[in-house]
């Protein structure tokens, strides 16, 4: 059985989005700066942008996703991303945690709606066929999985920005979790750290 790896990008002050995130502005106002590393440089929601990851950022990302067999995200992330245009962009099937499972998308889209974390982890683990299961956010899903002791590794990409408002990764999290620093990769747009979650 593979590991469960939670990964997300945060600002220096711990936000995963700026304010007013949603389908038109998935990372919130000013939040696109969090993903300069993903896009290969500065971009905005107003202008056209390409997925042009490069250098150390691409090396980090490629190594991270190479082990993934399936993934889990929350409904908020799914909606804010506009369902990625109706097609799963990640390796392996993607399980979306939601209370509205009756809105199940078409099978060929690569998404499955599930109502609970345990169910999502069970289905994702089976679908991953021995590879790792990725938990990609949002913050609430990562907090739930950490609190339940189900995360083996936390991969945090910290963008060199202070957002001041938005959604915080650990807002309301009251657990004591020790981490061990693993691989660290830096670029002008982010410092990526892979932490082992100590048991």
Q: Which domains are delineated in the chain?
A: 4-197 (3.40.430.10)
Q: Give the integer Cα–Cα distance in Å for 121 and 56.
A: 30
Helix H or strand E encompassing 196: strand 191-197
Unique residue bearing structure tokens 């799914």: 78
Quote the CA–CA distance of 29 and 18 in Å, as a whole number.
5
pLDDT in tens, 120-137: 999 999 999 999 999 998
Residue 65 has what pLDDT?
Answer: 93
- Between CA 31 and CA 193 the distance in angstroms is 20
Beta-carbon contacts of residue 89 (< 8 Å; ≥ 6 apart): none
Which pLDDT score, from 0 to 100, does residue 109 have? Answer: 77
Per-10-residue mean pLDDT, the chain, length 199: 94 95 85 94 79 93 95 90 84 91 76 93 96 93 95 98 96 93 97 95
Is residue 23 within 8 A of residue 79, CB to CB? The reply is yes
């Amino acid at each position: 059985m593979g590991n469960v790896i939670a990964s997300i990008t945060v600002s220096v002050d711990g936000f995963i989005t700026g304010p007013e995130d949603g389908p038109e502005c998935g990372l919130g106002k000013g939040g696109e700066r969090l993903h300069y590393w993903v896009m290969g440089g500065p971009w905005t929601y107003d202008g056209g942008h390409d997925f042009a990851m490069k250098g150390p950022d691409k090396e980090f990302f490629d190594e991270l996703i190479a082990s993934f067999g399936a993934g889990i995200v929350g409904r908020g992330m799914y909606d804010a991303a506009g369902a990625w245009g109706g097609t799963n962009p990640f390796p392996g099937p993607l399980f979306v945690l939601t209370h509205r499972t009756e809105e199940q998308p078409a099978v060929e889209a690569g998404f499955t709606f599930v109502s609970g974390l345990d169910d999502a982890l069970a289905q994702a683990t089976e679908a991953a066929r021995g590879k790792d299961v990725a938990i990609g956010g949002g913050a609430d899903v990562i907090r739930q999985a950490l609190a339940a002791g189900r995360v083996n590794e936390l991969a945090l990409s910290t963008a060199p920005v202070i957002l001041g408002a938005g959604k915080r990764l650990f807002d309301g999290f009251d657990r004591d979790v020790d981490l061990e620093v693993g691989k660290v990769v830096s670029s002008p747009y982010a410092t990526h750290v892979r932490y082992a979650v100590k048991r």
